[in-house]
Each structure stands twice: as C-alpha cells, then as structure tokens.
C-alpha cells in the first residue's frame, strides 16, 4: 500500500509494549515512525510523568493517583500493564518526561506530541503545569508539540512560547469548528469514532491527526478525506502495510 499519510505512535508501539513507556517509544522509532504521542501528568512534587490515567491501578497495579506520589516514588513503580502482559514487563518503569526526551535526542527526525492532561490542569492549575512541561521540553523545543483538550492551556502555551500546538477535539460540532478557526492550531486531533461516516474533514491551517485507527484500509480511507496523520497503537501492522 502506498500511504498518503504518516503515522503517529499512540503512546508508543503500545500494542506490543506497555503504553507510554520507554520500550514502547524505542520500538516505534525502530520501526521507522517519526511521530510519537504521549500523555503527561505532574507528580506530587511537580515533575512531569508519562502516563495516561491519573489513577495508577491500570498500568502499574499501585493504589491511588499520580498526584499522591513523588517523582522518585513513581519512577520506582513497574509500569508493565499487568492486566495485559502479566509479569512479562515487570522490569519496565514508569517514565519521567525527561526519560522520553533523552530517547528523542538520538532521533532528531522525530516529533513528539505531548498531551497535557486535564486532570493535572484541574489539580495543580494551568500555570504550574505549563511551567513544568514547557521547562522540561525547552531543550528539544523544535521537536515537541504541546497538545491538549483544554483550550485555555493551549492559548497560554501559544502566548508564552509562540509554539506549535495541537487541539484534541472533544467533538466535531459546529461550535468546535468555530473555536478551531479562532485558535488556528497547527494540528487537530480527532477520534475516528466521532467522525461522520463520510465527507471531507474541515479545511484550515492545521494538519489533521485521527486516532484510534488500527487497520490500514481505514487509514487510507481517512487520508482520502483529508487526514495527513494517523495515530495508532498497532505500529508494526501499519508500518508493514505501508
């Protein structure tokens, strides 16, 4: 298949490795993917940590939330997703954002989408979260794109850093389109399940990234509708097809 799109590794090669871990991102890079996406929450002591859920149980088996542990305590937790992989990845640890950025230094061709999670924004406040995330990514600023569902956070990122940003849409309503036209993000992220069954995606100054896609034929159909980026956990399957 000749692809009319590029791939984003959604939480890394998360079909084969625990999501949002260094091995998952390293695997995606080894398969030739140039775009990675991860999720960031702050620890109790304000350090950006890479995980999707603010509750720890699903990926680490630990009780409580990320907000109740220091970065050192979190980095000692196994992040091997025992419910999916059993004890296969029991030596894989929950990474700091800095750990993934260290991996990125060896891949100058790669772009990292850093999703700033709403639970952390609510818990710590927008400014504290942005201070921590923007400081962490500053050494690799050209390779990193902050993204979020939260419009206020994205506006502040642009005001403070004149940075590329991506808006993760909650829906594809007319109101959301109006907000997108006002914000003019560099990227729009949409859930494939929320798309109408047919028709072109909204045109604008952005590049479309559609996520939760695991089948090459669906990815090709979305590209024909205007999606330039396809976000997937099934990285090996998609790269093989491409």
Q: What confidence score (pLDDT) does residue 162 get?
A: 79
Which one, of 222, 227, 212, 208, lies nearest residue 166 by Cα? 208
C-alpha angle 193-26-60 in degrees, rounded to nearest 5:
70
Q: What confidence score (pLDDT) does residue 2 get?
A: 53
Please report whether residue 157 resides in a domain: yes
Please report whether residue 1 resides in a domain: no
Each of the 242 residues of the chain gets a pLDDT tens digit; together they read 456 899 999 999 999 999 999 999 999 999 999 999 999 999 999 999 999 999 999 999 999 999 999 999 999 999 999 999 999 999 999 999 999 999 999 999 999 999 999 999 999 999 999 999 999 999 999 999 999 999 999 999 999 987 899 999 999 999 999 999 999 999 999 999 999 999 999 999 999 999 999 999 999 999 999 999 999 999 999 999 88
Please report whether residue 37 resides in a domain: yes
Tokens, residue 189: 């992220």
Bridge partner residues of 41 (DSSP): 49
Q: What confidence score (pLDDT) does residue 1 get?
A: 43
Q: What confidence score (pLDDT) does residue 242 get?
A: 82
Boundaries of domain holding 62: 6-241
| Residues sharing a CB contact under 8 Å with residue 44, sequence separation 6 or more, in sequence order | 67, 68, 69, 70, 71
Which one, of 200, 179, 14, 23, lies nearest residue 99 by Cα? 23
Q: What confidence score (pLDDT) does residue 161 get?
A: 85
pTM here is 0.96
Phi, psi at residue 18, to the nearest 5°?
-55, 135
CATH number for the domain spanning 20: value is: 3.20.20.190
Coil vs helix vs strand at 240? helix
Q: How many domains does the chain have?
A: 1
């Amino acid at each position: 298949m000749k692809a009319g799109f590029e791939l984003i590794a959604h939480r890394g090669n998360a079909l084969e490795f625990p999501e949002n871990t260094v091995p998952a991102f390293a695997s995606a890079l080894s398969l030739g993917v140039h775009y990675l996406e991860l999720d960031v929450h702050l620890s109790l002591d304000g350090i950006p940590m890479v995980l999707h859920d603010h509750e720890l149980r699903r990926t680490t088996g630990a009780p409580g939330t990320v907000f109740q542990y220091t970065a050192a305590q979190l980095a000692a937790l196994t992040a091997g997703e025992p419910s999916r992989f059993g004890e296969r990845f029991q030596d894989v640890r929950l990474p700091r954002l800095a750990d993934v950025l260290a991996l990125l230094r060896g891949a100058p061709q790669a772009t990292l989408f850093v999703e700033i999670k709403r639970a952390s924004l609510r818990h710590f406040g927008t400014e504290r979260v942005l201070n921590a995330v923007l400081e962490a990514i500053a050494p690799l600023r050209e390779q990193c794109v902050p993204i979020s569902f939260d419009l206020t956070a994205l506006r502040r990122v642009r005001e403070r850093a004149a940075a590329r940003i991506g808006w993760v849409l909650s829906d594809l309503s007319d109101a959301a389109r109006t907000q997108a036209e006002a914000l003019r993000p560099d990227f729009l992220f949409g859930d494939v399940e929320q798309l109408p069954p047919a028709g072109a995606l909204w045109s604008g100054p952005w590049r479309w990234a559609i996520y939760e896609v695991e089948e090459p034929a669906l990815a090709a159909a979305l590209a024909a509708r205007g999606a330039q980026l396809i976000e997937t956990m099934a990285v090996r399957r998609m790269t093989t097809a491409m």
